[in-house]
């Protein structure tokens, strides 16, 4: 669906937009949502022209299924303080919106100075919660995808591109 070359070009342009938006910050706290976004986080952080601290939050709403349970569990919380700090949440896919909505409410309760979201992929046709990322890499149709850190049952994270899962 999306080539490695297209991803690299989009990451570069997203990082420029994010750097411009947060220009002047003393430090941007990048909160990566594990596990699907880890490759995207690494690539985008390397392209940011800002002082950056990286932290991680791990959630679960899928398990090994192809459909979200809509029950969001926090498996690993961030370690650092974000009060009065600039925060960028980096997500792999905004699908139903339940996970991102839960994470945003959790982090906003900790009183960051600014909190924005960057998502690699967006599936607006699946949205059940009114939530949007400020920056989106690619809008995709309602397909189950893997690659570039995104998995199905822990497989295919190592692909350098985004591909759709086909079942025989």
Average pLDDT rounded to a whole number, residues 21-29: 97
Least confident window among 25-39, 70-84, 117-131: 70-84
Does the pLDDT at position 69 exceed 80? no
The two tokens of residue 45 are: 């952080």
Could you tell me what percent of the chain has a pLDDT over 90? Answer: 88
CB 6 within 8 A of CB 31: no
In the prediction, which pLDDT does 153 show? 87
Domain ranges within the chain, ordered by starting residue: 4-142
pLDDT class of 167 with cuts at 50, 70, 90: confident
What is the C-alpha to C-alpha distance for residues 65 and 45, in angstroms, rounded to an integer?
Answer: 30
95 is catalytic: yes
Residue tagged active-site, from 92, 95, 122, 151: 95
Read off the pLDDT of residues 100-111 as tens digits, 9 standing for 90 and up. Answer: 999 999 999 999
Question: CA separation (Å) from 148 to 65, 97, 114, 142, 157?
Answer: 19, 20, 28, 18, 6
In the prediction, which pLDDT does 138 show? 98
The architecture of the domain spanning 4-142 is 3-Layer(aba) Sandwich (3.40)
pLDDT class of 60 with cuts at 50, 70, 90: confident
What is the C-alpha to C-alpha distance for residues 163 and 73, in angstroms, rounded to an integer?
Answer: 27
């Amino acid at each position: 669906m999306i080539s490695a070359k297209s991803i690299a070009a989009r990451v570069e342009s997203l990082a420029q937009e994010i750097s411009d938006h947060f220009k002047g910050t003393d430090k941007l706290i990048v909160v990566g949502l594990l596990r699907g976004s880890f490759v995207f986080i690494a690539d985008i952080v390397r392209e940011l022209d800002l002082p950056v601290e990286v932290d991680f939050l791990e959630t679960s709403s899928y398990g090994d299924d192809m459909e979200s349970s809509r029950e969001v569990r926090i498996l690993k919380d961030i370690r650092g303080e974000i009060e009065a700090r600039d925060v960028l949440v980096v997500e792999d896919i905004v699908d139903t919106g339940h996970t991102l909505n839960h994470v945003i409410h959790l982090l906003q309760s900790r009183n960051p100075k600014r909190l924005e979201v960057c998502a690699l992929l967006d599936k607006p046709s699946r949205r059940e919660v009114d939530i949007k990322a400020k920056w989106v890499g690619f809008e995709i149709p309602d397909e189950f995808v893997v690659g570039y850190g995104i998995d199905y049952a822990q497989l295919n994270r190592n692909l350098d591109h985004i591909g759709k899962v086909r079942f025989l």
